[in-house]
Amino acid sequence: MLLKKRILIIGASGQIGTELTAHLRNKYGNLKVIASDIKEGDDAIMKSGPFEILDATDYDTVQDVVMRHEITDVYLMAAMLSATAEKFPMKAWNLNMNSLFNILNLARDKKIEKIFWPSSIAVFGPTTPKVNTAQRTVMEPSTVYGISKQTGERWCEYYSKRFGVDVRSIRYPGLISYKTLPGGGTTDYAVDIYHKAIKHKKYICFLNAKTTLPMMFIDDAIKATVGIMEAEGPEIKIRNAYNLAAMSFNPEEIAASIKKHIPDFEIKFNPDFRQEIADSWPQSIDDQEARKDWGWKHSIALDEMTEIMIRNLKK
Ligand code: SER
């Protein structure tokens, strides 16, 4: 089984895809992991193994890449994030849904064996209880991105039940990394703040001081992604998407953590349209089902993450 495993990562040039590709190539061998994206990635991705330019919404091209490389597992990381999706609702819907249907249909037709598809805390909405948000609760997402992720979750569960498709998903919180920038998300401030702190010792935040959101360092996100994909089938009891948590903080708290390294760092606040998106999301997440079903455990908290971010961005 492992011998014939061949992985396709769609969206390999993005924030998660870049690090996921490196991790999986390390683990399974460079030639077994095909990276793909609509645009080229950084040197590490392009030079360490096969790469295909791929439009995830184009079924024929996706199928061609899958058949040509004899792909067994697909990680579908291409998506339009929350802030950009508010500007281009139909484009976001088209990308986020059609890319998912393409992969689900390939699995239904037995052309691939296993799918990872990321969901998000954006599936929750303003009517969801905000603290320690449960796996199953009120879900009335109010953003284009959240609607697409919530709908995607329903379809994943449907394809699993009706066609036996092995699809696995987690609801990522905001993700913080130093190798590749996120693009167009509401939680992006928590990456940008480190870059600006190092460069200018100043940051103007587009969310207000007290906006607490669930967050996670990229290493934990990669660990969760690979962890759920490697779990034995029967361990995966939820086929829409698992809640997943590591830490929660607000802009004031991340600024305080940065000040321990850069004492004269200053933060100011100038909330824009993203404030309303953030206000519609939970502050903290109850992820006990992921911990119980497939052994999820996070390891990195705010101060450790700050130390890692600052040390690496200074290089
Ligand atoms: N980080 C994403 C965003 O802000 C949420 O999944 O859009």
Residue 294 predicted with pLDDT over 70: yes
User: Quick check: is 295 in a domain?
Assistant: yes
Same-domain check for residues 182 and 234: no
Same-domain check for residues 166 and 188: no
User: Quick check: is 202 in a domain?
Assistant: yes
Candidates 59, 75, 145, 194; catalytic one: 145
User: Quick check: is 129 in a domain?
Assistant: yes
Same-domain check for residues 74 and 188: no
Which among 82, 148, 153, 176 is the best mutation to test ligand 1's pocket, defined by most ligand atoms within 8 Å of the CB?
A: 82
Residue 93 predicted with pLDDT over 90: yes
The atom number, within ligand 1, closest to the CA of 82 reads 7
Q: pLDDT averaged over the chain?
A: 97
Same-domain check for residues 129 and 235: yes
- 211 phi and psi angles, rounded to 5 deg: -80, 95
Ligand 1 centroid to 131 CA: how many Å? 18
pLDDT tens per residue, range 37-76: 999 999 999 999 999 999 999 999 999 999 999 999 999 9
Same-domain check for residues 168 and 204: no
Same-domain check for residues 232 and 290: no
Binding site membership of 81 for ligand 1 (Cβ less than 6 Å):
yes
Q: Are 218 and 177 in contact (CB under 8 A)?
A: yes
Same-domain check for residues 54 and 158: yes
Query: Quick one: pLDDT at residue 182?
Result: 87
Residue 3 predicted with pLDDT over 80: no
Which CATH number do you get for residue 299? Answer: 3.90.25.10
Q: Are 76 and 100 in contact (CB under 8 A)?
A: yes
d(CA 217, CA 104): 28
User: Quick check: is 207 in a domain?
Assistant: yes
Which CATH number do you get for residue 166? Answer: 3.40.50.720
d(CA 281, CA 207): 13
* 145 flagged as catalytic: yes
Ligand 1 centroid to 86 CA: how many Å? 12
Binding site membership of 173 for ligand 1 (Cβ less than 6 Å):
no
| 106 token code pair | 């390939």
Q: In what order do the strands lie in the sheet with 213-217?
A: 174-176, 213-217, 247-249
Q: Token pair 């029967």 is at which residue?
A: 234
User: Quick check: is 1 in a domain?
Assistant: no
pLDDT tens per residue, range 141-166: 999 999 999 999 999 999 999 999 99
Same-domain check for residues 279 and 255: yes
Single-letter code of the amino acid located at 131? V
d(CA 213, CA 210): 9
* Helices 302-313 and 251-259: angle between axes, nearest 10 degrees: 60
**pLDDT tier at 1 (50, 70, 90 boundaries)?**
low
User: Quick check: is 74 in a domain?
Assistant: yes
Residues 6+ apart with CB under 8 A from 101: 155
Binding site membership of 187 for ligand 1 (Cβ less than 6 Å):
yes
* Residue nearest atom 3 in ligand 1 by C-alpha distance: 185
Binding site membership of 282 for ligand 1 (Cβ less than 6 Å):
no
For 29, the domain range is 7-173+216-243
Same-domain check for residues 14 and 152: yes
**Which residue, of 224, 243, 262, is where some domain finishes?**
243
Same-domain check for residues 111 and 208: no
User: Quick check: is 2 in a domain?
Assistant: no
Terminal Cα distance for the chain, rounded? 41
Ligand 1 centroid to 52 CA: how many Å? 26
| 101 token code pair | 């249907």
Query: Quick one: pLDDT at residue 139?
Result: 97
Whether the predicted model's global pTM rises above the 0.85 cut: yes
Ligand 1 centroid to 89 CA: how many Å? 15
Ligand 1 centroid to 83 CA: how many Å? 8
Residue 2 predicted with pLDDT over 90: no
Q: Which of 138, 18, 147 is nearest to 85 (CA)?
A: 147
Same-domain check for residues 11 and 68: yes
d(CA 8, CA 99): 13
User: Quick check: is 269 in a domain?
Assistant: yes
Q: How many domains does the chain have?
A: 2
The atom number, within ligand 1, closest to the CA of 83 reads 7
Same-domain check for residues 98 and 189: no
Give Cα separations from 128 to 133, 140, 153, 173 (angstroms).
7, 7, 17, 15
